Amino acid sequence: MFTNVEHIGIAVRDLATSNDLFSLLLNSQPYKAEEVASEGVMTSFFQVNQTKIELLAATRPDSPIATYLEKRGEGIHHLAFEVDDIRAEMERLKAAGFTLLNDVPKRGADNKLVCFLHPKTANGVLVELCQTIKQETL
């Protein structure tokens, strides 16, 4: 079951410059920075009340974020939703006709298991499912 919007992901070319910009905009500092080497991305997280903003910058030219920036430029990259049971939601959504970009959940930033839905099956929106990693989740 979807529980809430977990975060909004924004693709950026320069993480340091974007951190400065969003710090001014949101009047707060990022609470966390983390590299997800498997995806070739460096992330930075801001929180405003219950809403999280994730800035994503490529760490290598073949990463999905680098490809996104090349095609579309900076801006909103994805919407992420927290789910209770990522595997059950993946099965449900696949059965409903959505295309999953990964067959099994993978480790993402901010202590999450993640799975993405192809934008072509979600009105052009890249949707991320997120479940907080707990010992029993692994």
pLDDT tens for each residue of 82-132: 999 999 999 999 999 999 999 999 999 999 999 999 999 999 999 999 999
* C-alpha angle 120-92-108 in degrees, rounded to nearest 5: 70
Dist. CA 53–CA 84, nearest whole Å: 21
In CATH terms, the fold of domain 2-132 is 2,3-Dihydroxybiphenyl 1,2-Dioxygenase; domain 1 (3.10.180)
- Domains of the chain, residue spans: 2-132
pLDDT tens for each residue of 55-69: 999 999 999 999 999
Query: Which phi and psi (to 5°) does residue 88 adopt?
Result: -65, -40
Dist. CA 133–CA 42, nearest whole Å: 19
**Does residue 110 contact residue 101 with C-beta atoms inside 8 Å?**
no
**Does residue 15 contact residue 42 with C-beta atoms inside 8 Å?**
yes
Q: What is the percentage of the chain residues whose pLDDT exceeds 90?
A: 91
